[in-house]
């Protein structure tokens, strides 16, 4: 990000819209690589959102003393909080996995995920804590979607309607 800060973000010949497009196409994919499998803790949410808004402030040239709210900043750039994008991708992946048949290889992997060695992310936490956080987070999101739609959110939805439902939860 620093190399972009000294070169591209401070370039006066590029408009803010172009810089935001570069941010979306170059920075966000690197930042969100593999985010579908992350466990979002409160600290990680805070760090991701602050990185996103801080980067957008740099791009648009806002100083800390300008008192621009995050909502206004996101409205100007037509972006969302980074954690909202992460949640959308996680729910999209969960929807795809949910639509698979029970005798599928991916379903077996999903069921056996917790019985193997913990990932590097979980080495600081106990394995059970990581499992509990992930289970509660996904069940909370699915419960919210089910209450909102009064049915199973993945039954009978075409792709576009499902996308709107998933985006609404952010």
Q: What is the pLDDT of residue 159?
A: 53
Distance of CA 155 to the CA centre of its chain: 24
pLDDT in tens, 2-59: 566 667 777 778 888 888 999 999 999 999 999 988 888 899 999 999 999 999 998 8
Q: Kindly list the domain boundaries of the chain, sorted by start residue.
A: 2-82, 83-168
Q: Tell me: pLDDT of 122 over 70.
A: no
Q: Tell me: pLDDT of 165 over 60.
A: no
Q: What is the pTM of this model?
A: 0.63
Distance of CA 103 to the CA centre of its chain: 29
Q: How far is CA 103 from CA 16, 99, 100, 111, in A?
A: 50, 12, 8, 12
Q: Tell me: pLDDT of 150 over 90.
A: no
Report d(CA 95, CA 93) in Å as an integer: 5
* Nearest to 95, CA basis, from 155, 51, 137, 164: 155
Task: For residue 114, name the pLDDT band (cuts at 50, 70, 90).
Answer: very low
pLDDT in tens, 56-78: 998 888 888 888 999 999 999 99
pLDDT in tens, 96-105: 766 665 565 5
């Amino acid at each position: 990000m620093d190399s972009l800060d000294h070169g591209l973000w401070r370039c006066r010949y590029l408009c803010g819209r172009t810089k935001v497009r570069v941010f979306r196409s170059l920075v966000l994919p690197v930042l969100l690589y593999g985010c579908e499998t992350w466990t979002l803790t409160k600290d990680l949410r805070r760090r991701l959102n602050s990185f996103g808004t801080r980067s957008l402030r740099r791009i648009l040239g806002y100083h800390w003393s300008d008192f621009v709210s995050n909502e206004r900043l996101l409205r100007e750039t037509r972006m969302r909080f980074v954690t909202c994008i992460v949640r959308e991708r996680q729910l999209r992946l969960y929807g795809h996995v949910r639509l698979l048949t029970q005798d599928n290889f991916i379903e077996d992997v999903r069921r056996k995920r917790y019985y193997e060695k913990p990932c590097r992310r979980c080495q600081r936490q106990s394995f059970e804590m990581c499992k509990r956080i992930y289970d509660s987070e996904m069940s909370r999101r699915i419960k919210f979607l089910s209450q909102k739609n009064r049915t199973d959110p993945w039954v009978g939805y075409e792709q576009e309607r499902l996308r709107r439902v998933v985006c609404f939860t952010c």
